[in-house]
Amino acid sequence: MSHIKIILADDHKLVRQGLRALLEANHGFEIIGEASNGVEALKLMEELSPDIALLDVMMPDLNGIETAKIAQQRGLKTRLIFLFMHANSTYVVRALQSGAMGYVLKDSDFIEIHQAIQNALEGKRYLSTAIASEVLEILLNADLDKSDVLAVLSPREREVLQHIAEGNSNAIIAEKLTLSVRTVESHRAHIMAKMHFNSQADLVRCAIQQGLIAP
């Protein structure tokens, strides 16, 4: 029987090592790549076509949720499962909206990760039991069309927004995204105008509220 091919994306090396050890102890899983941010994860998905990607929500340069959105836009077939430290229902809803198949808390038993992978392979979603009922309540009652305030931004603008909120200068952002500084400045101006921001503090506060960066 062929192994289930998995990539791990987390900016903490020790977390990746721990996950690798747990997963490879199960003879049905094969870890074929590791990434420390969303950009690297997308590259691995495109080059290696893994069955499953286990992604941290909070990663530098490109967070997990934006990574999932881009993967969906590019038509990548890898099933995505988020691993996160906090039972934050807002992040879970946004993760599901991004096309993810699962959301598992990092302090869960390994059996939950295993079940999430099996569900994803069968085309079924999985949520950690600790947060499932709360998320269901939100999904049933929320106006989801209004829940993603970043919807007015283009994918590139959301990417630039995360970099700005992480404290990167225009020059550094330009280098990371292979853009000109002038283009980054233009994206910054468009973000400020579209989101009606008056200051850098407004921008950072929004990025935290929308789960682009950690508080």
| 73 and 160 part of one domain | no
- Rounded to 10 degrees, the C-alpha dihedral 65/165/193/198 comes to 140
| Distance of alpha carbon 112 from alpha carbon 132, whole angstroms | 12
Tell me how far apart the alpha carbons of residues 41 and 8 are, in angstroms, rounded to a whole number. Answer: 8
pLDDT tens for 113-142 read 999 999 999 999 998 887 877 776 665 665
Total domains in the chain come to: 2
Asked if residue 130 belongs to a domain, the reply is yes
- Residue 196 and residue 137 share a domain: no
Mean local confidence (pLDDT), 180-208: 87
pLDDT tens digits, one per residue of 85-114: 877 777 777 788 888 999 999 888 899 999
**What CATH number is attached to the domain comprising 188?**
1.10.10.10
Whether residue 122 sits in one domain with residue 60: yes
Candidate from 2-16, 34-48, 83-97, 164-178 with smallest mean pLDDT: 83-97
CA distance 6 to 130: 25
